[in-house]
């Protein structure tokens, strides 16, 4: 049994500071002496902790000492066989997962609503995505998860796929039937990679959905900073099973992970793990109580609709993380964007995100009765002042997934130029356009722009929906490929993947 009360990295940092070492090494601010204005605000101790790889503090590229011990403790805490500390965010973990399993041209089965970091992984690896479109919750206008049936159909059609990529939970807290998906993928001897950016807390309370490791996934990138208490940009990459070699995973991480990690971030990962394994259940019990109270109070406000357990009966969703509270505000005559602005401007409350229909509230172990009370009071005050009710904004069904003409990597490295969107029909896009809601790309790099997509974008622009991805924030023009010949088969693409 490992001693989970230990914090190897944090302890080594404290020892280094206590030893009053005189630094003739980077960073050049020398414990803040070269940055007095910043030191005065953040404190001398924080800058003293900003260290580098020196004897006694280990090396993240080849950990043998305190970082290695801290990673072993983390693996045990999360029920994994191996854990890797990430200081480049979960983005680096997601890209490493894809790079670890895919060579140029290899297929990977992946949800269409995968995070933009996954697109980066496709570009870096040269992989060929086989897209699965997630289910849509029409009431809230958001994407849910993929189903085991969709995964099995994709594997039957593409038995040479190198991996199945799954999002669990998604941004809104919905969790697909991950255990069943893993079982199907493993029956084809295909590993499962999980974007678990929003699930670092799941392992530590029985009332929460199962974590990726509990569901049997092979690899999971987990944002400790989102819901487990560590500092922003710090994450874990978790590995189990014999399908993937931990030495290869580490070699891939070393391609892109910094050789100068922030020891403040590393220490926060160390302490966050200790806190979650020793006190996580108690902390999360209080968090769940607060979340339940907020849900109950908001559900009684006329004009609000709260996404609840009813969604677990829908395809693509087996569980809902109750610490994520999705509030549909259409009944108040507001868009989610307008509600976000009101809360920030009038009440100094910042939500996690907003979309055309909803605001998303994130309740964590850092919340308390006071912050919860202020949140509920703000919603009640806004609802009381509203005279305009039930303005419903329309979000039509998504266009068909367009045909992929070139791989994302080829699109990224091709010559491009900008063209007015209205005249881009038939061109190959060099950019992704993602609509919120529902958070699914309408077109990805390498895909052919259709008239249906152009018309849909123009409709969403009139509704003031959030469109992300292109260089032009107003999306009057789009970047397309110049003089590029299709390298993939022509033909209509099915909703389940490539033609």
Q: Provide the residue ranges of all domains of the chain, joining segments of one domain with +.
A: 8-277, 281-385, 394-499
pLDDT in tens, 410-467: 999 999 999 999 999 999 999 999 887 678 899 999 999 999 999 999 988 887 777 8
pLDDT in tens, 361-397: 999 999 999 999 999 999 999 999 987 665 555 567 8
**Is residue 295's pLDDT more than 90?**
yes
Residue 486 is predicted with a pLDDT of 52
The count of C-alpha atoms lying within 13 angstroms of the C-alpha of 325, restricted to the half-sphere facing its C-beta, is 26
**pTM higher than the cut 0.85:** yes
Residue 86 is predicted with a pLDDT of 97
Instruction: For residues 408 and 130, give the distance between their C-alpha atoms in angstroms, rounded to a whole number.
Output: 12
Where is average pLDDT lowest: 62-66, 171-175, 255-259, 450-454? 255-259
Instruction: For residues 169 and 323, give the distance between their C-alpha atoms in angstroms, rounded to a whole number.
Output: 12
Residue 233 is predicted with a pLDDT of 96
Q: Is 262 left (phi over 0), alpha (psi -120 to 50) or beta?
A: beta
Q: Name the burial class of residue 186, with classes exposed (0-12), middle (13-18) and buried (19+) by CB atoms within 10 angstroms of its CB.
A: middle
Is 394-499 a domain of CATH 3.90.100.10? yes
Residue 498 is predicted with a pLDDT of 41
DSSP code of 11? H
Please give the CATH topology (third level) of the domain spanning 8-277: 3.40.640
Largest CA distance in the chain: 68
- Give per-residue burial for 118-136: e unless 16+ CB within 10 Å, then b: bbbbbbbbbbbbbbbbbbb
More confident residue, 490 or 246: 246
CATH class name, domain 281-385: alpha beta
Average pLDDT value over all residues in the chain: 93
**Is residue 493's pLDDT more than 70?**
no
Residue 239 has phi, psi (to 5 degrees) of: -135, 140
């Amino acid at each position: 049994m490992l001693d989970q009360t230990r914090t190897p990295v944090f302890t080594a940092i404290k020892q280094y500071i206590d030893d009053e070492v005189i630094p003739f090494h980077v960073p050049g601010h020398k414990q803040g002496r070269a940055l007095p204005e910043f030191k005065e605000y953040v404190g001398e101790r924080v800058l003293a902790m900003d260290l580098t790889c020196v004897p006694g503090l280990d090396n993240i590229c080849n950990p043998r000492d305190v970082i290695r011990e801290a990673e072993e403790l983390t693996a045990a805490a999360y029920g994994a066989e191996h854990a890797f500390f990430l200081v480049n965010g979960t983005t680096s973990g997601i890209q490493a997962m894809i790079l670890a399993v895919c060579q140029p041209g290899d297929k990977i089965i992946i949800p269409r609503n995968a995070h933009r970091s996954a697109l980066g992984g496709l570009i870096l690896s040269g992989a060929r995505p086989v897209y699965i479109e997630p289910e849509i919750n029409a009431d809230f206008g958001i994407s849910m998860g993929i189903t085991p049936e969709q995964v099995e159909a994709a594997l039957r059609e593409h038995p040479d796929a190198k991996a199945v990529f799954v999002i669990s939970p998604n941004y809104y807290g919905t969790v697909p039937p991950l255990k069943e998906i893993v079982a199907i993928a493993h029956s084809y001897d295909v590993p499962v990679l999980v974007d678990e950016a929003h699930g670092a807390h799941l392992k530590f309370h029985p009332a929460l959905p199962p974590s990726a490791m509990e569901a049997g996934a092979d690899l999971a990138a987990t944002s400790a900073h989102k819901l487990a208490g560590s500092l922003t940009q710090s994450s874990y990459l978790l590995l189990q099973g014999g399908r993937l070699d931990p030495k290869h995973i580490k070699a891939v991480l070393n391609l892109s992970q910094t050789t100068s990690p922030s020891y403040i971030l590393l220490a926060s990962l160390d302490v966050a793990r200790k806190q979650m394994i020793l006190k996580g259940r108690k902390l999360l019990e209080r968090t769940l109580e607060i979340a339940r109270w907020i849900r109950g109070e908001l559900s009684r406000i006329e004009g609000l609709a709260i996404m609840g357990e009813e969604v677990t009966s829908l395809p693509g969703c087996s569980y809902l993380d109750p610490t994520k509270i999705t509030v549909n505000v259409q009944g108040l005559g507001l868009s989610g964007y307008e509600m976000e602005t009101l809360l920030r401007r009038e009440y100094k409350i910042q939500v996690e995100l907003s979309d055309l229909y909803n605001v998303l509230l994130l309740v964590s172990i850092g919340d308390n009765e006071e912050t919860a009370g202020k949140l509920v009071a703000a919603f009640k005050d806004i609802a009381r002042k509203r005279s305009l009710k039930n303005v419903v904004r329309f979000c039509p069904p998504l266009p068909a997934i367009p045909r992929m003409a070139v791989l994302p990597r080829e699109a990224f490295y091709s010559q491009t130029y900008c063209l007015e969107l209205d005249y881009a029909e038939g061109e190959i896009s060099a950019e992704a356009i993602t609509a919120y809601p529902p958070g699914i790309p309408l077109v990805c790099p390498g895909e052919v722009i259709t008239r249906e997509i152009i018309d849909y974008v123009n409709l969403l622009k009139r509704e003031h929906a959030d469109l992300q991805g292109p260089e032009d924030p107003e999306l009057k023009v789009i970047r397309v490929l110049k003089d590029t010949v299709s390298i993939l088969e022509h033909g209509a693409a099915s909703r389940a993947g490539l033609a």
